[in-house]
Homo-oligomer: A and B are copies of this chain.
Amino acid sequence: MNNIFLTAPNIYKLSSSSAEGLTLLNAFDVALLESGIGNTNLVKMSSILPPNCEYQDNIKLPLGSLVPVAYASIVSKKEGQKISAAVACAIPKDKTKNGLIMEYEDYDISKIEAERVVIEMAKWGMEKRDYEIGKIVSISAEHIVERNGCAFACVVLWWK
């Protein structure tokens, strides 16, 4: 059967961004635009890098297409508050195994702190699987809220 659900994505990319907006949802929407995925239909998933998935810096996503994505997102209306979001993707040494994506976001922490936590989470999850880590890639965003702020970080999966 020709079934895309049976065919795991084979390329991925990391992005992060922060934004202000008219409302919290608008701020999230602008953050998606800044991350290069704002004109697609994000389908949130939890959160595995398929085996042999290749990093590709410039993934062309058709407008309005359904895009599987793992993301960390945080919004706030509290003026002056710092918000941060981070994702980490642990890639196994053994390329026939899957990798693990972790997401973390919090109030009142820096992007460096968020990224440190999410990397620990990814390491811990790989140890739990008894998978040896080849490398970990991560990305984060930090934002100081003006009126309606959003910090966002994601791993986008796609097919080449």
Contacts and interface: CB of A to CB of B under 8 A. Distances in A.
B97 A63 contact: yes
A46 B64 CA distance: 10
A83 interface: no
Interface stretch (A108-116, A120-128, A136-144): A120-128
A1 B159 contact: yes
Given A5-B4, A63-B98, A103 B25 contact: yes
A104 B28 CA distance: 13
Nearest to A67: B5
Contacts of A149: none
Contacts of A104: 23, 25
Contacts of A98: 39, 63-64
Given A8-B65, A51-B64, 7 more contacts: A2-B4, A4-B4, A8-B62, A22-B124, A26-B125, A49-B64, A64-B98
